[in-house]
Each structure stands twice: as C-alpha cells, then as structure tokens.
Structure 1
C-alpha cells in the first residue's frame, strides 16, 4: 500500500509524492503577462508541497483549436522559452511540472462562441470526420456553428508533428513531462471515439486504427523531445446521452489503456466523459451565483449570441447538474479496472474531496489500490496552497463545494478562481490560523 506522501516514478522521473494538481484552465493567454499569470496560478501548489503540477491544456497551433477563451498556445519556441521562469519556480519548491497539450477540433471556440466566430469568419474547425448527425442538427437549429475542415491523412501526420514540436519546446524550457489531453471532447478523443471517427484511412475504422493518432503523437514526441515522461487521459464515454449508440464503453477504455502501455506511454488517467461538452467532467451543483452575476452578463451574451441563448444554456446547465450530481471519486471503478490491466502508473481524478478517499484509492484498507496518484482540479481554485493541509496536517476534507461558480465564468474569459463566499470565508479563517503555512501541524 502506498501513502499520499510516498514518491512515485513516472517514465524515469521521480515525483516526490502522489498528490497532483490536475490540469485546469489558467486563462493566461500569450500576452506580456502570461508567464507571471501562470506563476501566480501554479506556484502556490508546488510551494504547498504538491508533488506534481499539471499546467492546463495548451494549444499546439497558432490558429484555432482553443476550446475556451484565454488558453495558452505553445507553438512558438520563443514564447515557450519564457516559461522557463515558471518551471524554475516549481523546481525551487522540489516539485515537478508537466505540460498538457491539446487541440480542440470540433470543440473549438468558432463552434460555439458567437463573438469569436464573428471576429474570425474564415477560421475552420479541424475535424476527424464529418460531424456526427446530432451536432449537424444543432448546427441547423442555430445552437452551434460548423465550418469544418476534415483532416487529410497527410494533415493528420502534420498535426501529430505539432504535438511533437510543442513537446520539444517544453522540454527545452524545463518541463518534466508531457500530458496529452486525451479526453474532454478534444481532438484526441475525437480520433478515439466511434461517435466522431468515421475515417476510412489508416486513422479510422477499427479500434486499433482509431488509436493510431496517439501512437503517431507518441513517436513524434519521442523523436523530437526524447524520453520525457508521457501520459495521457483515457476516455470512456459512459455518460453520453442514450441516443448515442456509437461510443467508447468502459471495456473500450480499458483496452485503450492496455494498448497505450504497449505503445510506450508512461502513465494513464482514466476518465468517464460524454461525447459532447457538458457537465460530465465538472460534476456538481448548478452554479446559480455565477449565472446571476450581472458583471458577467455581457460576457455570457457575447459568448452565446444574445440573452435568450444565454438563458437557454443556463437552463441546460441546470438540467445537467441534476443528471450528473456530485458522486464522489466518480472515476474510481474505471481506474481500478485499468490498473488491473496495466503495469504503468494510473492517475485518478474527478470528484475526490476527502483525505479518506485518497487513502482508499491508494490502497488503504482491504481492497487493492485503484490508482498510483491522486489529483484534484477545482479544489485548487478554492485553496491554491491546498497541499499543506493535505500533506502536513490532519485535514480531512477540502473546502471546494463542487458548485461550479468557478468554471462557468470562464466562457467569458474570466480567470479561474473561487467565487463562493462561504468557501472564501473558510479559507480566510484557515489562512489566519496558519493552516497553509508549511510546517504547520494543526
């Protein structure tokens, strides 16, 4: 049995403990303050003792591909070189930092963000195949907008090379590993999923062919960046709507993880996610406070195309909050099945909020471990220096209430931060009590 405080080796790199900050949207962009914004967002986790910090999804191309406003692009080696300031700061605290690489594909902003689409009228979405019929229907009804460019075989190879180039820039800047955004409805999941992938070339058809894009990405990263630790999320599309028949089952997800180990990936992160962008990845309460925020109203209307569309999205958000609920550690069973099938480390995240859950996932008690490392995302918005409370004190639960008042405003480009007064009040009380000071023993 491992404990949260035990080190873990991933691809030859030792991580000092098994608590990690899962990828979040930092909203740093690429402007003159981008590096400082990332330092402000990420350094507190490492300072508090978190063993691994995963910088959130960064885009491997200079145009298109962003799934939300404010995403950072890492296609430019000159910009990525500036990020050495960030990696140095993480290393100063004894932590490790992985960079998550992504491209949104059909989930890109030109699909759903009205103002962005008007500002970039000629920008196409990269697509694995022609959009599935439910998405085409939403296009006809005016809820989404598609102007797709289906990737040719040569263009698929070039996109994989972009992942490799960005990984090489990151390694030169001091990043300790690469995290591929293999779920959350981005382009990688679109290659893996039979819902999206109807290709007839070497990248489509069979489950093995749908996995080939990740294999080529692996080869490109190995060729350009060397033997840097390489991990990826592994999706199972179990929360998908019942009308969707072609999707990835849990068994499919386990098989993908098994094949990824053979390809040469160093760790996997199994997650249950839908085939569409919904609350399956941020399960929790309906964020009433966020939707009622008058200061964000103009941003919502700009994103969704007007007041009535904003109200419609908010109503869908309310329904999905009832559908997905707040089941704790909702990926546990999936992680357990994957860990039984592979010998590489398995990372668990999704609704983990209590130290007892973490201990159980790592193998405390009679059951075998479900994972080798435990990650959280939204709790770090609520408590940037959360690691101190979990690793050094007797804290039993994080403050995060999974209320999603932090996530919904991000569609406007607002920074990721906790906006729930009750949580902020409790954090202030803990700060005054010294609970986030290293060496505290409360």
Structure 2
C-alpha cells in the first residue's frame, strides 16, 4: 500500500469532501437507519418522506438504510426494503432525484442478514416460512447452537459453498448496478452490525478452510463485482471491531484486527471506511443508551412482540436481556472515535465516524485540531434524525447546536414488531416542535 495521504488542512464541518470522485458539499451525513419502508406501492414515497428532509436541510450525504440484495430471506427486521428487482430499484430513482434537487448526495446500503436474519429470531416469520433457511458462512457457533437447543433461537442454516459465496457477492454487484442506474451516487456496504458481510470477517462466525476463510476475501470479491457491474461508483463500507463482545466469548476481531482489515480494504479499492466497535451479537452495543421501557410497555406493539418472540413471557425475557445490555453498554459520546483515529492514521481514503455523536462541538473535535489529531474526515448521526429529520439545518448553522434526542431507544424496539422508525418520546417531540416553530430547521443558503 502506498504511503498515507497527507491531510495538511484542518477541515470544517461545512467544507466539501471528495469520496472516490464524488464531492460531498459538506462533512455531515445522515448515517443509515431502518426506514421500514418495505417494497409495497407506498415504499418509495415512504423513503422520500424519511430521507429528503435531511438533504433539504443541507446534509452532505444521506445514507439509505440497509436494503437486502436477494428476493427472499436475509432481512434482519420486518419491512426492510429489498433491491434484487431492477424494476423496483428504477422506481426508487425518484429518491436520488429528490436528494439531488437540494444539492445533496445519496448512498444506498446493501446487506444480507445471514445468521442474523428473521429466520433465526422472529417466531411468526419462521412459522410462516418453514422452509426458509439462513445463509451461513460456517456452521453456527457453538454458543448460538446452544441457544437454539434452549429454544431462544431457531437455526436451520445453509452453509455457503465457495461457488455460492461468489454468487452472493454477484448479488451485491447486481444490486449496486441497479442503484447506479437509478441515480445513487455511492454504494455503502453493510460490513458490520452482524450481517453476513460482518460474519465473513469475524473469527467467531467464520471457520472456513477455503479462500473465504480470509476475513477480507468476501469484501474484496464484492468490491470487484461492483466495479465490474457498476463501473466507477464509489464504494464505502462499515468495518467491524468486536471489542464489545461479552467476556469469554470468542474468538473475536480486536481493534488491531479492524485496523489491519481496513488497510486491506483500502488496498482493495474501497473509497471510504466506517470503523465501528460492536459485539458478535445484535445487541445494544450498536445503539447504546437507556433501556427503552416505554416501548416495551406500549400496548400498541404487544401483538407484534408476541408474533416476534412467540409469547408475552418470551417477550418479557427479551426485554429483561435488553435491560441488562443497557447497563453493560453505557452511553459514551462518539464511542468509535479512538478506533476511527487509528484507522485514519493508516488509511489513504476518507474515514467516516458515527456512533454517539450528538452535538456540533463533537463533530468539530472529531474533525480535529490538526491532521494527525483528527478521528474522521466526515461525521454521521443516525437516531437523532428520527426526532429531527431536518437536523442538519441546525448543526451546520449553530456552533453550539445539540440534538434533542435523549438516547432513550424507544424508537428502536418497536421495529422488531414491525413498527416504523420514528421518535416516540413526548418530551423529545415537544422540544423538536418548539424548535420548528422558532424556525430552527430553515436552511440558510450562502
């Protein structure tokens, strides 16, 4: 790999950023979130309603949340959007058009859940699709098989052959090509948060003895497929470090392993990297914050929780585990900053930082006081957009701006029951309403 790129100028949040030849108008981005739009007749309108406000308010980059590259299986939550059908993706082109009309750029995140899919954890989905197997990198780890025997999970995994690994990578490439044809500016690979791409990278999941036993190999083949099928579109990816895995669970990806993996992906042609700390499980290491007690008690979602977890007692057990996780994964500001800083010191491409960023001053700190101090070249936020869809207007204009989000996580849990990704906390919504009345979300163009 060539010597690290020099970054002599200290950027501001409002400065542009080049990612693989695409210029972002500033360095604030809306990180991927579950839109829960599905593929029905109103799906594209739902996506536009969710994502256009961020572009209208000035976000340099808007990331559409995880979309599934195959026509069946692979969804980690209900009502995720699938992008295997070129005709449907062409209809989604109205979304990039809406973003571009405001001068913004848009990325689409591509994913397949693998062992994290609803086929594993969603009781009703499993009953309605009894023949649907999970795709697996290797046989499920021993700990997860034990949870299967105890009835908490349900595994009927199909371990991918070498040829099937190549075919899955080709599905990522085909979906990327359709997205580029529809007007998307960048492709965002869901390389973390325990999806199948993460599983290829993780020694906890990957015990293969073929070429795909190399943690970087699937990333490399996907990058080649996108290049061959979608041309020169920039590709970014999340990259996992399993630093938050419970004690005694392993083997795992260390922070050092993540840095090395990022170097490999830089050399493979990825145009931007998003390093993130997490676990080997899909738990609160991803979101952190308070226990979402309001959502667990919300009677509107009770039937959905029963459908998802099989019964009210089982839902209560999941809620109890959720409460324990909220104590373990304490809320920290910018919890990926140190990892991003280590990667940025070794990378030739932009490093994007997200996770726990909640105010303008933190974004400036992440961008750094000097080229060697910075943790990131761009900074993202996710859950705060549920309460403030037009959040960039405040953050880009006000030096002391802070989000109204309280990290209560009441937006997250109902998604397991098929609920939309929205803020449901009255005090937060009231504060956002007050700001809207005061004109805080009006975009001031220079």
Q: TM-score range by the shorter chain?
A: over 0.9
Q: Quick check: 1:381 aligned with 2:386?
A: yes
The equivalent of 1:19 in structure 2 is 28
Q: Quick check: 1:170 aligned with 2:175?
A: no
**Relative to structure 2, which stretch is displaced further, 388-397 or 277-286?**
388-397
* Match 1:129 to one of 122, 129, 138: 138
The equivalent of 1:48 in structure 2 is 57
Distance in 2 (CA, whole Å) between partners of 1:389 and 1:440 is 12
Q: Quick check: 1:278 aligned with 2:283?
A: yes
Give the TM-score normalised by structure 1: 0.98
* Match 1:190 to one of 199, 215, 226: 199
The equivalent of 1:324 in structure 2 is 329
The equivalent of 2:303 in structure 1 is 298
Q: CA offsets per residue over residues 291-317 of structure 1, 9 Å max, x none?
A: 110111111111011011100000000
The equivalent of 2:4 in structure 1 is none
The equivalent of 1:212 in structure 2 is 217
Partner SS state of residue 237, structure 2: strand
Q: 1:395: Cα distance to partner?
A: 4.1
Q: CA offsets per residue over residues 359-405 of structure 1, 9 Å max, x none?
A: 00001379611100000000000100000000123442111111100
* Match 2:405 to one of 393, 396, 400: 400
The equivalent of 2:120 in structure 1 is 111
The equivalent of 2:71 in structure 1 is 62
Distance in 2 (CA, whole Å) between partners of 1:266 and 1:255 is 16
* Gap runs ≥5 in structure 2: 1-9
Partner SS state of residue 187, structure 2: strand
**Relative to structure 2, which stretch is displaced further, 386-395 or 2-11?**
386-395
Q: CA offsets per residue over residues 304-348 of structure 1, 9 Å max, x none?
A: 110111000000000000000111100000000000011100000
Partner SS state of residue 232, structure 1: strand
The equivalent of 1:369 in structure 2 is 374
Distance in 2 (CA, whole Å) between partners of 1:219 and 1:98 is 18
Distance in 1 (CA, whole Å) between partners of 2:94 and 2:34 is 19
The equivalent of 1:151 in structure 2 is 160
Q: Quick check: 1:246 aligned with 2:251?
A: yes
The equivalent of 1:427 in structure 2 is 432
Q: CA offsets per residue over residues 261-304 of structure 1, 9 Å max, x none?
A: 10000010000010011000001000111111011111111101
Check whether the contact 1:19–1:52 (CA below 8 A) recurs between aligned residues. yes
The equivalent of 2:349 in structure 1 is 344
Q: CA offsets per residue over residues 418-441 of structure 1, 9 Å max, x none?
A: 001110010111011111112299
Distance in 2 (CA, whole Å) between partners of 1:295 and 1:144 is 25
Q: Quick check: 1:83 aligned with 2:88?
A: no
Q: CA offsets per residue over residues 221-267 of structure 1, 9 Å max, x none?
A: 00000010100001000000112130000000000001101000001
The equivalent of 1:333 in structure 2 is 338
Check whether the contact 2:31–2:381 (CA below 8 A) recurs between aligned residues. yes
Distance in 2 (CA, whole Å) between partners of 1:180 and 1:211 is 13
The equivalent of 2:149 in structure 1 is 140
Partner SS state of residue 30, structure 1: coil
* Match 2:80 to one of 71, 77, 89: 71
Distance in 1 (CA, whole Å) between partners of 2:291 and 2:243 is 21
Q: Quick check: 1:7 aligned with 2:16?
A: yes
Distance in 2 (CA, whole Å) between partners of 1:210 and 1:24 is 26
Distance in 2 (CA, whole Å) between partners of 1:386 and 1:245 is 39
Q: 1:210: Cα distance to partner?
A: 2.1
Distance in 2 (CA, whole Å) between partners of 1:408 and 1:275 is 19
Distance in 2 (CA, whole Å) between partners of 1:356 and 1:393 is 10
* Match 1:289 to one of 294, 297, 313: 294
Give the TM-score normalised by structure 2: 0.97
Distance in 2 (CA, whole Å) between partners of 1:365 and 1:15 is 21
Q: How many residues align?
A: 437
Q: Quick check: 1:92 aligned with 2:101?
A: yes
Partner SS state of residue 194, structure 1: coil
Distance in 2 (CA, whole Å) between partners of 1:366 and 1:327 is 24
* Match 2:235 to one of 205, 230, 235: 230
Distance in 2 (CA, whole Å) between partners of 1:152 and 1:236 is 26
Distance in 2 (CA, whole Å) between partners of 1:366 and 1:20 is 21
